[in-house]
Chains A and B, each alone.
Chain A
Amino acid sequence: MTVRYIGQRLLEVLLVLWLAATLAFGALQWAPGDPAQVLLAASGASPQEVAALRQRLGLDDPPLQQYLRYLLDLVRGDLGRSWLHGRPVGRMIAEQFPSTAALALAATSIGVLLGVSLGTLAAIRRTTWLDKAITALAVLGLSTPIYWSGLLAILLFSLTLRWLPATGEGTWRHLLLPALTLGITLSGAIARVVRVRVGEALSQPYVTAARARGLPPLWVLVVHVLRVALGPAVAVTALQFGFLLGGAVVTESVFARRGLGRLLLGAIVSRDMPVVRGVVLVGALSYVLVNLLGDAVQAWLDPRLRDRAP
Chain B
Amino acid sequence: MIRWAAPPRRPLRRQPATLVALAWLALVVTAALAAPALAPQGPLAADAARALLPPGRGAPLGTDFIGRDILARLVWGGRWTLQMSAVALALAVGLGLPVGLSAGSLGGRVETLLMRLVDALLAFPTLLLALTVVAVLGRGLGPVALAVGLASAPPYARVARSVTREVRRQPYILAARAVGASSWRIALRHILPNAAPTLIAFAATQFGWVLLNGAALNFLGLGAPLGAPEWGAMLAEGRGYLRDAPWASFFPGLVLTLTVLSANLVSDGLQEASGQQ
- Residues of chain A having any CB pair with chain B under 8 Å: 12, 15-17, 19-20, 23-24, 27-28, 30-32, 124-128, 136, 139-140, 142-145, 147-148, 151-152, 154-155, 159, 196, 199-200, 202-203, 207-208, 211, 217, 221, 241-247, 249-250, 253-254, 264-265, 267-269, 271, 273, 276, 279-280, 283-284, 287-288
Q: Which residue of B lies closest to A159 (CB)?
A: B243
In the bound complex, do residue A139 and residue B265 qualify as a contact, i.e. CB atoms below 8 Å apart? yes
- Residues of chain B having any CB pair with chain A under 8 Å: 1-7, 17, 116-117, 119-121, 123-129, 131-136, 138-139, 208, 212-213, 215-216, 219-222, 232, 235-236, 239, 242-243, 246, 249-250, 253-254, 256-257, 260-261, 263-265, 268, 277
In the bound complex, do residue B135 and residue A276 qualify as a contact, i.e. CB atoms below 8 Å apart? yes
Q: A124 CA to B253 CA in the complex, in Å?
A: 34
In the bound complex, do residue A143 and residue B125 qualify as a contact, i.e. CB atoms below 8 Å apart? no
In the bound complex, do residue A268 and residue B127 qualify as a contact, i.e. CB atoms below 8 Å apart? no
- Inside 8 A of B232's CB, which chain A residues have their CB? 145, 147
- Inside 8 A of B212's CB, which chain A residues have their CB? 143, 145
- Inside 8 A of A124's CB, which chain B residues have their CB? 2-3
For the complex with contacts A31-B136, A249-B128, A250-B219, 14 further pairs of A-B residues with Cβ separation under 8 Å are A16-B120, A27-B133, A27-B136, A143-B212, A145-B216, A245-B125, A246-B127, A246-B216, A249-B131, A264-B128, A264-B131, A268-B135, A284-B124, A284-B128
Q: A17, A207, A211, A287: which has the most chain B beta carbons within 10 Å?
A: A287
In the bound complex, do residue A19 and residue B264 qualify as a contact, i.e. CB atoms below 8 Å apart? no
- Inside 8 A of A147's CB, which chain B residues have their CB? 215-216, 219, 232, 235-236, 253
| With contact pairs A127-B3, A148-B257, A159-B243 given, residues A15 and B116 touching in the complex (Cβ less than 8 Å) | yes
In the bound complex, do residue A125 and residue B3 qualify as a contact, i.e. CB atoms below 8 Å apart? yes
Q: A310 CA to B66 CA in the complex, in Å?
A: 60
Q: A124 CA to B239 CA in the complex, in Å?
A: 41
- Inside 8 A of A208's CB, which chain B residues have their CB? 4
| With contact pairs A124-B2, A202-B2 given, residues A245 and B265 touching in the complex (Cβ less than 8 Å) | no
Q: A64 CA to B184 CA in the complex, in Å?
A: 38
Residue pairs across A and B with Cβ atoms less than 8 A apart, 21 shown, are A12-B119, A19-B119, A23-B120, A23-B124, A125-B2, A139-B265, A147-B216, A147-B235, A147-B236, A148-B235, A151-B253, A159-B242, A242-B126, A242-B128, A243-B126, A253-B219, A264-B128, A268-B135, A269-B222, A283-B128, A284-B123
- Inside 8 A of A139's CB, which chain B residues have their CB? 261, 264-265, 268
Q: Min CB distance, A225 to chain B, in Å?
A: 9
| With contact pairs A23-B120, A27-B132, A151-B249 given, residues A202 and B125 touching in the complex (Cβ less than 8 Å) | no
Q: A211 CA to B232 CA in the complex, in Å?
A: 51
Q: Which residue of A lies closest to B212 (CB)?
A: A145
- Inside 8 A of B219's CB, which chain A residues have their CB? 145, 147, 250, 253
